[in-house]
Amino acid sequence: MAVHDILLECLDELDSKEMDLFKWHLTRGIDDFKIPKSRLENKLSFEVVGCMIEHYLSDGAGKLTLLILEKMKMMDLAEKLRKNLGHSMDTLQSKHNTEAGTSQKQERCKSGAEFVDKHRTEMIRAVSLVKPIADDMKLLIGNEKYQIILKSDTTHEQMRKLLDFLTVDRLKEEFYQSLKEHEKFLVEDLEHSG
């Protein structure tokens, strides 16, 4: 089952008041995830899911939904979603591995530095956990650059600044390792997108 369908199935379990509270959390922002209120007003659950995926890709939308459900103290639904998302990611991985074994093998990046160069735009748009990655990179880029990153207003700006400071392959390799730790599903999505 696709991530979009899994998230829609999950949100369909919310009653109207719970859905309003869910949308309120989306507009307030959680862990650097935030969607403008105007994008969510009078939207049905499938439109909310589409908006989350548009803003944060599948991985980010899944994480965001989990965070909000936990904040709403809906632990059973959050756990069910976590299991379904895990199964979905496993299915996507299995499907990709099968395709890779055929003549339609996708070209993968040979190094982390190549990955960073190839997927710069997607990372600026989709990485939501910039601060933990910047924390990992602080010793390598220095405190002054680290502070510049943190002072940026949005995660997009923070990510753009961080990537601008990665001027040599060694820094890009370290960044890639940190990205794999903090944004595992995003890295897998990008690696499999070709």
Q: Name the average pLDDT for the chain.
A: 82
* Single residue among 100, 128, 160 that ends a domain in this structure: 100
Neighbours of 48 (CB within 10 A): 22
Look at residues 100, 124, 139 and tell me which one is the last residue of a structural domain. 100
Which pLDDT value is given to residue 94?
37
Please give the residue range of the domain that contains residue 153: 112-192
- Dist CA 88 CA 100 (whole Å): 18
User: What is the number of alpha carbons within 13 Å of residue 37 lying toward its C-beta?
Assistant: 4
Per the document, the length of the chain is 194
Would you state the pLDDT for residue 47? 87
pLDDT digits (tens, 9 = 90+) for 136-187: 999 988 999 999 999 999 999 999 999 999 988 888 999 999 999 988 888 8
Within-domain flag for 146: yes
Q: Are residues 129 and 80 in the same domain?
A: no
Structure-model confidence comparison of residues 92 and 16, the more confident one = 16
H-type alpha helices, 12-74? 16-28, 45-71
What's the DSSP call for residue 41? Answer: T
Q: Which residue has the tokens 């307030």?
A: 28
Q: pTM for the whole thing?
A: 0.47
Q: Are residues 88 and 119 in the same domain?
A: no
Q: What is the DSSP letter of 154?
A: S
Confidence check: pLDDT of 124 > 60? yes
pLDDT higher for 3 or 163? Answer: 163
Q: Which of 100, 133, 164 is the last residue of a domain?
A: 100
pLDDT greater than 50 at residue 105: no
H or E element: which one contains 78? helix 75-100
Question: So what's the pLDDT on residue 97?
Answer: 40
Q: Which residue has the higher pLDDT, 38 or 139?
A: 139
Per residue, the 3-state secondary structure of 107-172, as one string, reads: CCCCCHHHHHHHCHHHHHHHCCCHHHHHHHHHHHHCHHHHHHHHHCCCHHHHHHHHHHCCCCHHHH
Residues forming a β-bridge with 30: 33
Would 107 be classed as within a structural domain? no
